[in-house]
Amino acid sequence: MTAVQAKQDTFDSLSPTTDEVVGTYPVHTADDVTAAVARARDAARWWADLGFAGRAERLQRWKGVITRRAAQLAEVVHAETGKPHADAMLEIVLAIDHTAWAAKNAPKVLGRKRRSAGLLMSNHAASVEFQPLGVVGVIGPWNYPVFTPMGSIAYALAAGNAVVFKPSEYTPGVGKWLADSFAEVVPERPVFQLITGYGETGAALCRSGVDKLAFTGSPGTGKKIMAACAETLTPVLIEAGGKDALLVDADADLDAAADAAVWGGMSNAGQTCVGVERVYVHERVYDDFVAKVVKIAKDVRAGDDPEAKIGPITMPGQLKIIQRHIHDALARGGRALVGGKDAVGDKYVQPTVLVDVPEDSEAVREETFGPTLTIAKVTDMDEAITKANDTRYGLASTVFSKRRGVELAQRLRAGMTSVNSVISFAGIPSLPFGGVGESGFGRIHGPEGLKEFTRPKAIARQRFKAPLVLTTFSRTAKTDATVAKLITLLHGKRR
């Protein structure tokens, strides 16, 4: 059973828990996408003309609508992904906070600012402002169908762009809910449009002439997105997967670290791009830490009853990958202290804690995207850093250390690191979010996330005529000599 079934020109979104049809949506064609982008172009001008204050007022109203109807949106998220309501609420709460931050801070971050004009052009007033790009295409995944795309949508809108959004084929209903609620507060123009369908619809969006394409999904699809966008030199932002590590130093608070490892690795059934997948623990505290992890993980159960802490695997194809990683780890000498060989069912995966897994096995090297953890012993934190960084990914990471948390964080090759907490960076709107290596590039959230959806515009305004005019053919040899003297005085000193 696949979670999404195609009919001719529509597809069904199915509940991964019950296999029931949650909704039926159009498969938009390349022509539909082109038409949506053309409508967006006109809407973008109108939206940009509203200015920061006008847009902020609408975005704050939208935020209010989402907040007041959060339970309804959580129900749609639950129906399409199977995740527990409480988890759905958590991602909605974070998205609300980000929307508020983007709306409030856009004028400060993007508005016109004076810059120093320097010596040679000191008769000028120099300024920079960050102008909207126009139309931004957003392609989203299913695992956090509200929080993840809103990191692009809310920031792109706050920066003055129109948005055309293609949600995952597994969560079109969530996308529709977001677009419909936005249209309630911005009924005048199609500033935020929804298109639905499979990869082909997304590829059409890449080729549609949007001014930027913001993609969140797997690294493999990210490469296809870049190739499609290359045809029209459309800039891209890629938020892809990871194989995030958590490091436990000898002086760490082990209760907190174990709790973070289990929640970071298993919440949302491990289907978290910035979830913990690998753990490296100082040998002095390894046994204690592992015992604590096992105790906590044994209390976590996958199911659809209210007591279950995690839900199903949303995308059925992922079950095979998770099983392959676990079986490969066990076949190569790994041991399962929780879960293991039979953890993978036909919908649910029970928490699995693996130790003694070879570093070159799939469970350590590839994104598992299930409720599994590998835990390895290291002799010191240098070894932990080397092993954590030995990956082609580099999305997020976590450090538990009393004395050296920030120092270790600085040495981790990952876009974000939490110290003595887990995934906390995602809930801090002022911090940029994004990866390195095959985890992608570009940043959402924070000032960097606002600027990502703009182009800097430089303006140099002459305030008065300077005695030395450089930009004219009537420049004299005397002027050139004076400038040469000046520049030698300023920059020619031997150090």
Is residue 224 at the binding interface for ligand NAD, with CB under 6 A as the rule? Answer: yes
Q: Which of residues 340-379 bind ligand NAD (CB under 6 A)?
A: 367
Is residue 244 at the binding interface for ligand NAD, with CB under 6 A as the rule? Answer: no
> Could you say which of 206, 273, 277, 438 is catalytic?
273
Is residue 148 at the binding interface for ligand NAD, with CB under 6 A as the rule? Answer: yes
The count of residues in the chain is 495
How far is the C-alpha of 257 from the C-alpha of 244, rounded, in Å? 15
Residues 6+ apart with CB under 8 A from 393: 219, 240, 241, 242, 243, 244, 367, 435, 437, 438, 439
Site string for ligand NAD, 287-316 (x = CB under 6 A): ----------------------------x-
Which residue's CB atom is positioned nearest to ligand NAD? Answer: 202
User: How far is residue 107 CA from its own chain's centroid?
Assistant: 23
How far is the C-alpha of 20 from the C-alpha of 82, rounded, in Å? 12
Is residue 142 at the binding interface for ligand NAD, with CB under 6 A as the rule? Answer: yes
Is residue 168 at the binding interface for ligand NAD, with CB under 6 A as the rule? Answer: yes
Is residue 202 at the binding interface for ligand NAD, with CB under 6 A as the rule? Answer: yes
| Residue 452 bears catalytic tag | no
Is residue 241 at the binding interface for ligand NAD, with CB under 6 A as the rule? Answer: yes
Token code pair at residue 200: 């082909």
Site string for ligand NAD, 375-404 (x = CB under 6 A): --------------------x---------
Name the one residue in this structure whose structure tokens are 């932002």: 237
Is residue 247 at the binding interface for ligand NAD, with CB under 6 A as the rule? Answer: no
Q: Which 3 state secondary structure label does DSSP give 310?
A: strand
Strand ranges (E), 113-187 = 113-115, 124-132, 135-139, 162-166
Element holding 199 (H helix, E strand): helix 199-206
How far is the C-alpha of 158 from the C-alpha of 271, rounded, in Å? 29
Torsional class of 199: left (φ above 0), alpha (ψ -120 to 50), beta (otherwise): alpha
Q: Which stretch binds ligand NAD (CB under 6 A): 9-17, 68-76, 214-222, 446-454?
A: 214-222
> Could you say which of 239, 366, 438, 452 is catalytic?
239
Select from 48, 139, 156, 302 the one that contacts ligand NAD (CB under 6 A): 139
From the CB of 359, what's the least distance to ligand NAD, in Å?
A: 21
Name the one residue in this structure whose structure tokens are 């990502």: 452
| Residue 273 bears catalytic tag | yes
* Positions marked active-site: 239, 273
The site for ligand NAD (CB under 6 A) is made up of: 139-144, 148, 166, 168-169, 198-199, 202-203, 206, 216-218, 221, 224-225, 228, 239-242, 273, 315, 367, 395, 435, 440
